[in-house]
Structure 1
Amino acid sequence: MARLTQEQKKLNHDKILDAAGRGFRTHGVNGIGIADLMKAAEMTHGGFYNHFGSKDDLALEVIRQGFVSSLAALADIREEHPHSARAALDHMFDQYLSVEHRDRPEDGCASAALVTDAGRHGVAAQSEYQHGLEGFFSAITEMVLENARQSDVDMNVDQARERAIALFSQMVGALVISRAVAESSPELADEILQTNTTRLKQA
């Protein structure tokens, strides 16, 4: 039997990670089994352990990679508005609290889709989630500080971080609550997104 090349191993690893990212975001870590994840990745069940020691190990990497992707998207938003931190913040609010983001958790940010899983899967999962949070807090703190400078508002780093934490927490909370009622009350779900987007832009 031919041995897999390192390139093919990497491709297979990434296929499993992608399938798990979508599956975990949609169903939760406990809501989908390894067999179904491997089927989604178009691979055999037995091949899983060539790449991950356990489902918990996979979950940690999904959380880690999810935040890496989300922070890269946030960096892209910032680059789109090089001269206006306010415009970048508003763009972030619009994108994060969009109907599309709410209705497609499989493609969305790990911060909202995996928040409950991180809280329930022990210190290692919480540490990965914390690392991702700190990335968001740091990036948003910089944007808040820059917006203050551009608006001639006196603000220090501690104040900016406090605001960044509050802004991001409101974003995540609004998205999670909107998802919780999206099928039973689409109108309320949309109202939650719209109201919080408006309020965040006024902050």
Structure 2
Amino acid sequence: MKVSKAQAAENRQGILDAAARLYRERGLTGVGVADITRDAGLTHGGLYRHFESKDALVREACARAFDWSIAPLDGHTPNANVADRIRSYLSPQHRDAPGSGCPAAALAVDAARAGPELSEVFAAGIERNIQRFTQLLVDADPPTAPADTGAATETGSTPPAAAAQRARAIEVLATMVGGLVLARATAAAQPALSQELLTTLQGQLIGLLEDPGRRG
């Protein structure tokens, strides 16, 4: 029976959604094509009607996974919401649900070993998150930074205030990702240590946002 274009598009989306979740849960080498198609409710052979190879599926699924990280950073929100996002990211709920969480924390090591094409997907996703988090910090602290973080000076350099906010965004994002990775790695054996990592980093990062000169 011939599948309609709408159904084909729905099937393709189901495969991507299943792959994005399973890869984050189990890693890129821990998931087979059969696992993905079964989770999507399709047959094994159906995958290759939508993707030219498993590597192509991996790249698209990882790009889709970055929608999670980007979406909460959209819009103009006050500084209190920056702190809320830090708490949400460094939480037991996020730690215990990698399949619906941040792809950088779940798959960065796999991506580093997978070659330049997947590295490009991750670089693009991480750069977009840095830019959006930078804008979030600028919106939360308008007196100390220009509204247009992408603007350049006449010489083509980044304005100093924008560069400082970008550096803060990189520091916060990298610390959140690293902290979540460590919390996940220790949760099964030492849950108290895992929680200590989350709680400590929450406090350190929120303090850093309130006082950029603080280093505790």
Q: TM-score, normalised by structure 2?
A: 0.85
Q: Distance in 2 between matches of 1:63 and 1:13?
A: 15
In structure 1, what is the equivalent of residue 61 of structure 2? 62
* Residue identity opposite 1:72 in structure 2: A
In structure 2, what is the equivalent of residue 96 of structure 1? 89
In structure 1, what is the equivalent of residue 195 of structure 2? 190
* Map 1:42-121 → 2, pairs under 5 A: 42-75=41-74, 78=75, 81=77, 84=78, 86-121=79-114
* Map 1:11-30 → 2, pairs under 5 A: 11-30=10-29
Note if contact 2:145-2:161 (Cα within 8 Å) is conserved in structure 1.
no
Q: 1:96 Cα shift?
A: 0.8
1:114 is paired with a residue of what secondary structure? helix
Q: 1:102 Cα shift?
A: 0.5
User: Once superposed, which parts of structure 1, at least 4 consecutive aligned residues long, lie more than 3 Å away?
Assistant: 152-155
In structure 2, what is the equivalent of residue 146 of structure 1? 139
Give structure 1 stretches of 5+ with no counterpart: none
Could you report, residue by residue, the CA deviation over 1:44-86 in whole angstroms, capped at 9, with x for unpaired residues? 11111001111111111111111123211222xx55x4xx2x2
Q: 1:140 Cα shift?
A: 1.2
Provide closer, same or farther for how the CA distance between residues 44 and 93 of structure 1 changes in structure 2, counting only shifts above 3 A: same
Greater helix fraction, Structure 1 or Structure 2: 1
Note if contact 1:17-1:62 (Cα within 8 Å) is conserved in structure 2.
yes
Q: Distance in 1 between matches of 2:136 and 2:71?
A: 15
Q: Distance in 1 between matches of 2:134 and 2:203?
A: 20
Give structure 2 stretches of 5+ with no counterpart: 147-159, 209-216
Q: Say how many residue pairs are matched.
A: 195
* Map 1:23-38 → 2, pairs under 5 A: 23-38=22-37
Q: 1:199 Cα shift?
A: 0.3
Identity %: 35
1:184 is paired with a residue of what secondary structure? coil
In structure 1, what is the equivalent of residue 157 of structure 2? none
Q: Distance in 2 between matches of 1:129 and 1:104?
A: 20
Q: 1:18 Cα shift?
A: 1.3
* Map 1:115-134 → 2, pairs under 5 A: 115-134=108-127
